[in-house]
């Protein structure tokens, strides 16, 4: 049975994002690699540790080929609840890395949005601009803000 193209694109984007976390980070959990259904239902795509500080955070990867009328649909309501539950249960912050346009392995645009700033299923494309990052650049840790940039 052929795989769903949406899942194939999502997995390709997830691999791209994981590859952007270089040697200053350690991937603790990767849901793409043999997670149980319970883990997938609860956890974000990646759980990462910044080695120097020991800070742990979740990363949810979302690839979209385009937005519609300036609005980007990035999650369903049940997923928002999942992300809130992750934060409540672990105490770890969660970031949504969104790839937009191009192809999953080489998106035209990329955004790293703190989940607490993305509390709706639709995001305004203009509001995303402040979270824009180079989709080819490795992530680094912002010591003052305690987040990946």
Neighbours of 142 (CB within 10 A): 11
Indicate the CATH number of 5-148 among 3.40.50.620, 3.40.309.10, 3.40.1350.10, 1.10.3720.10: 3.40.1350.10
Task: Kindly report which listed range (12-21, 40-49, 96-105) carries the lowest average pLDDT score.
Answer: 40-49
Q: Domain locations in the chain?
A: 5-148
Confidence check: pLDDT of 141 > 50:
yes
pLDDT value of position 144? 85
Taking the whole predicted model, whether its pTM rises above 0.85 is answered as yes
Rounded Cα–Cα distance for residues 126 and 71 (Å): 9
47-104: per-residue pLDDT in tens? 999 999 999 999 999 999 887 777 888 888 888 888 889 999 999 999 999 999 999 9
């Amino acid at each position: 049975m052929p795989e769903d193209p949406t899942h194939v694109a999502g997995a390709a984007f997830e691999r791209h994002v994981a590859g952007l976390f270089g040697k200053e980070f350690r991937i603790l959990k990767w849901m793409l690699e043999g997670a149980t259904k319970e883990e997938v239902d609860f956890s974000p795509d990646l759980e990462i540790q910044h080695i120097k500080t020991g800070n742990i955070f979740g990363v949810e990867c979302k690839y979209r080929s385009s937005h519609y009328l300036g609005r980007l649909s990035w999650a369903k309501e049940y997923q928002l609840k999942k992300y809130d539950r992750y934060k409540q249960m672990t105490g770890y912050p969660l970031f949504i890395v969104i790839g937009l346009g191009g192809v999953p392995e080489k998106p035209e645009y990329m955004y790293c949005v703190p989940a607490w700033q993305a509390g709706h299923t639709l995001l305004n494309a203009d509001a995303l601009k402040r979270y824009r990052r180079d989709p080819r650049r490795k992530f680094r840790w912002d010591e003052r803000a305690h987040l990946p940039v």
